[in-house]
Each structure stands twice: as structure tokens, then as C-alpha cells.
Structure 1
Amino acid sequence: MPARHVSRVRCLYKRILQLHRALPLDLKALGDQYVKDEFRRHKTVGSGEAQRFLKEWETYAAVLCRQSSTGEARFGTSLPEEKLNDFRDEQIVQLQELMQEATKPNRQFSISESTKPKL
């Protein structure tokens, strides 16, 4: 793998993690883990798939940069149907799992009265 390609991948990876700092904590944690997993998973793909992978993540970084610079608390974008039709079955499943994780209520910090120990 050429050093230029490795450098491009590394810079993109770092840029995305830096952009995630603007996200709410729960989305940052989810996004960071997803990015780490995806970059690790695509370490050994062929050059064609690597180029598509980088293009998509560069687009993601550009969108996230634009959204975080507006100061709005709204992140994300619609996925066009024609792009969705290009996904493999395992990518659709992964996308559904990501959507479920990103949209579920954040319960990890809630404490109810009934769970407190009685003295």
C-alpha cells in the first residue's frame, strides 16, 4: 500500500474523530466506535473498494463539518433511495442497527426512584 494512501486514510480518520467532538456525547461515542470499526474492517480491501470507501467518508466529513459550523443541534442527512439500492444485504442490516442505536432513548444515565437502595 503506497505511503500516500496510508497518509490520506490516517488524516481522514483523525479529521472525522475531531469533527465528532462537536456531537452530543452519546452520538460522539457511537460515531467514534463506528468509525474505528469501519476503518479497521476496510484495512485490507482492494483498491476499487478503498477508493469508494474513502470517497464516502470524505463526503461524511464534509457534511459533518458544514453541519457543525452552523451551530445547529441537528446532524445527519437523508439517504437517497438510489444509493440505498446499491447497498449489499449486510450493509442494509448494519445501517438498520446503526439507526436503531442512534435513535434509541439514552437510558444509560437515568436513575429511577425504585432502584435506589433503602436504608
Structure 2
Amino acid sequence: MRASIPRLLRQRRPERAAEPLLPPLKLYRAILRAHVHKLPKELRYLGDEYVKAEFKAHKSTDNPLYIVGFLTQWQDYLRSIDGGSWHEGKLTQGELEKMSPEQVGQLYELMQETQRLGQESQE
């Protein structure tokens, strides 16, 4: 029997259970708005393009468990942008070990691009 999205949402971690997940389109728009108001101009383009690519790539996903995980992680990201805690964001070893090789590759490419942008802005 397939798990329903509402049931999966109720089974989320207790600290997240109090806050309902935003629908995908509303979450997507909220993230882009947060980028406008909270990110430095030189990082905004990179952040916007990454968010657009990720939401587009996962648009046709129909696995409810994967959808809940995807939306939960992006909602956590939105919370960190809104709260200003994205400056000190660091991955733990456990989080890194949970990532697939493709995700680690994406993270490495993101790191290289942000370093390149940082060097360009200092020139």
C-alpha cells in the first residue's frame, strides 16, 4: 500500500511537525522572494538559477516520500535564508555521507562557482 502525502507529513520529525509544508509553487516563489531581500546581489543570480533548475528537475517526481523530503529540505533552506543563518551554514560529516555521488558533485560545482564569483567581486 502506498503511503499518502498527508500521512507522511504527519510522520515528519517532531520539531518540524508544527510547521506545515508549503505547496511546491508557493515554496518556490517564497524562496525566490527571500533571495531578492536576503542574499547579496552577487549571490542572488546563482541562487535563483539553482532553485529554478532543482524545482524543474523534480517537477515530474511522483514518489510521495521523495516529494515530502524535497519540500522539507527546501523549506529548511527558506527558513535559514529568512533567519539569516545561511552565513554560518556548514554540512556535518553525517549529512555529507547521506548524499549521493551526484549530489556531492553538484555541491562541489556550487562551491567552485561561488568561489569564482567571490574572486570576481573582489577585483
Q: TM-score when scaled to structure 1?
A: 0.75
Which residue in the other structure is 1:64 paired with?
81
Equivalent-residue separation in structure 2 for 1:41 and 1:76 (angstroms): 27
Q: Map residues 10-89 of structure 1 onto 2, 5 A cutoff.
A: 10-21=25-36, 22-45=38-61, 46-67=63-84, 75-89=87-101
CA 1:18–1:30 in structure 2 vs 1: closer, same or farther (change >3 Å)? same
CA distance in 1, matches of 2:88, 2:72: 17
- Quote the Cα distance in structure 2 between the aligned partners of 1:87 and 1:76: 20
What is the identity, as a one-letter code, of the residue corresponding to 1:91?
Answer: Q
Question: 1:76–1:28: structure 2 CA closer, same or farther, 3 Å change rule?
Answer: farther
Give unmatched runs, 5+ long, in structure 1: 69-73, 111-119
Task: Give how far 1:50 is off.
Answer: 1.0
1:81 deviation in Å? 1.1
Could you tell me which runs of 5 or more consecutive residues in structure 2 were left unpaired when the two chains were aligned. 6-21
Q: What RMSD in Å do the two structures reach over aligned CA positions?
A: 2.3
1-side partners of 2:60 and 2:119: how far apart? 35
Q: Comparing both structures, which one devotes a greater share of its residues to helix?
A: 2
Q: Which is greater in Rg?
A: 1
For each residue in 1:58-109, what CA deviation from the matched residue of structure 2 results, as whole angstroms up to 9, or x when unmatched?
00000110008xxxxx72501111111111101100000001111223538x
